[in-house]
Structure 1
Amino acid sequence: MLLLTLTMIIVAYLIGSISSAILVCKLLGLPDPRTTGSQNPGATNVLRMSNAFTAATVLFLDILKGTIPVWGAFFLHVDSLYLGFIGVAACLGHIYPIFFNFKGGKAVATALGTLLPIGFTLGGLLILTWIVVAKISKYSSLAAIVTVSIAPLYVYFLKPLYVYPTLMLSALIIFRHRDNIKRLLNGTEDKITRKIKS
């Protein structure tokens, strides 16, 4: 079981290292998202650069990066605590992708993907939380921080077995947003906008 877990952790990291934003932008002839906008290769920055459909495609692929390895490990009967390490590995792949010079994104969508195997009720609650906070505040980063902060509470009431793995993911995502937190406190954080093409 230990060998299986280690293998799944490595696989999760490698899958997470596939940058959907960079590949989709390259395929569509758009600028590298690491060089424009917020310089973050994620769905929100792609939305600023292009359109909702392209951003949704990136979002969907980033979610899959988290769901595939965790769901696979779940069906292989990997222990719940180790599922957390596998989920963290997928997120670390997104944040520090080996295929893209270790310069990645914030891993919010990938973290969501790792939590979906717990249940679609949880997924719906997380998505709803993000949408509500983002709509009210207009800050994608604040929506992400609030969502991952409350995720362990949702999990506690739905499937408490997975609280500790969820806490691992939440801590990682909040740590990754430390610069955003500083900008939010200083009032210099960028709001969600989309470039309108004429």
Structure 2
Amino acid sequence: MQTVFIYILAYCVGQILSAHIIGLLIYRKNVFQLGSGNPGARNAGRSFGKTGFLLVLIGDMLKAYLICWVAQVAGLGILGQSIALFCVVIGHIYPIIYKFQGGKGVASFIGGLLSVSPFSTFSFVFVFLILFLLNRSFTKSGLIAIMTTPFFLFFYDRNIWGSIIIAIIAFIIILRHREKK
């Protein structure tokens, strides 16, 4: 029962869109009506500047990190924490309270991954930086790096089912980027 509660809580917390809240509270603007209309860190950066980008990035990462940490403290293993991360990311991408119009899930994914598998996160960041230096595309570098995370999780934690859940999350994030062009 506790595990199910954590997963439901994860989805509910995932629906807290930092870009929308920060936009309204600090900038007095609705991020859904600015730039691409996407309630994520990149659009917040374009709409509110570097500070807005950082605040949204940290907010979205923190919500996922905390949920995955709660799952860890509750005794859920890598698989349970990965499922909690899945629920947070789904809540962020498809929030009921925003009529299923959420962000793309990248910051939440990174924040949760940091809790689930810190070494996988550091490897993700390393791959991203190398790719970004080579092709100068933030989006392409990020998406390719996200695709590597299931392999890193398996390499570091030897958990095939957790790796499969992370692969599903990566696939959903990539699909979300394709549909939100």
Q: TM-score with structure 1 length normalisation?
A: 0.81
**Partner Cα separation in structure 2 for residue 129 and residue 32 of structure 1:** 34
Q: Is 1:165 the counterpart of 2:165 in the alignment?
A: yes
Q: Report the CA distance shift for 1:146/1:128 in structure 2 as closer, same or farther (over 3 A).
A: same
The CA RMSD over aligned residues, in Å, is 2.0
**Partner Cα separation in structure 1 for residue 76 and residue 156 of structure 2:** 20
Q: Which amino acid aligns with 1:172?
A: I
Segment of structure 1 superposing worse, 95-104 or 146-155: 95-104
Q: Report the CA distance shift for 1:109/1:121 in structure 2 as closer, same or farther (over 3 A).
A: same
Q: TM-score with structure 2 length normalisation?
A: 0.88
Partner of 1:83: 81
Q: Report the CA distance shift for 1:176/1:159 in structure 2 as closer, same or farther (over 3 A).
A: same
Segment of structure 1 superposing worse, 73-82 or 15-24: 73-82
Q: Report the CA distance shift for 1:42/1:167 in structure 2 as closer, same or farther (over 3 A).
A: same
**Partner Cα separation in structure 2 for residue 85 and residue 160 of structure 1:** 16
Q: Given that residues 61 and 108 in structure 2 are in contact (C-alpha distance below 8 angstroms), is that contact kept between their aligned partners in structure 1?
A: yes
Spell out the pairing of 1:137-152 with structure 2 (5 A cutoff). Answer: 137-152=135-150
Partner of 1:179: 179
Q: Which amino acid aligns with 2:163?
A: V
Q: Is 1:101 the counterpart of 2:123 in the alignment?
A: no
Equivalent residues, number: 179
**Partner Cα separation in structure 2 for residue 175 and residue 104 of structure 1:** 14
Q: Which structure 2 residue ranges, 5 or more long, are not aligned?
A: none
**Partner Cα separation in structure 2 for residue 125 and residue 40 of structure 1:** 27
More helix by share: 2
Question: Pick from 107, 111, 114: which aligns with 1:116?
Answer: 114
**Partner Cα separation in structure 2 for residue 4 and residue 34 of structure 1:** 35
Q: Which structure 1 residue ranges, 5 or more long, are not aligned?
A: 184-198
Partner of 1:45: 43
- 1:28 counterpart SS class: helix
**Partner Cα separation in structure 1 for residue 133 and residue 35 of structure 2:** 20
Q: Given that residues 84 and 169 in structure 1 are in contact (C-alpha distance below 8 angstroms), is that contact kept between their aligned partners in structure 2?
A: no
Q: Report the CA distance shift for 1:35/1:130 in structure 2 as closer, same or farther (over 3 A).
A: farther
**Partner Cα separation in structure 2 for residue 53 and residue 120 of structure 1:** 25
Q: Report the CA distance shift for 1:40/1:136 in structure 2 as closer, same or farther (over 3 A).
A: farther
Is the radius of gyration larger for structure 1 or structure 2? 1
Q: Given that residues 44 and 140 in structure 1 are in contact (C-alpha distance below 8 angstroms), is that contact kept between their aligned partners in structure 2?
A: no
Shift of 1:79: 4.0
Question: Pick from 30, 33, 40: which aligns with 2:31?
Answer: 33
Shift of 1:74: 1.2
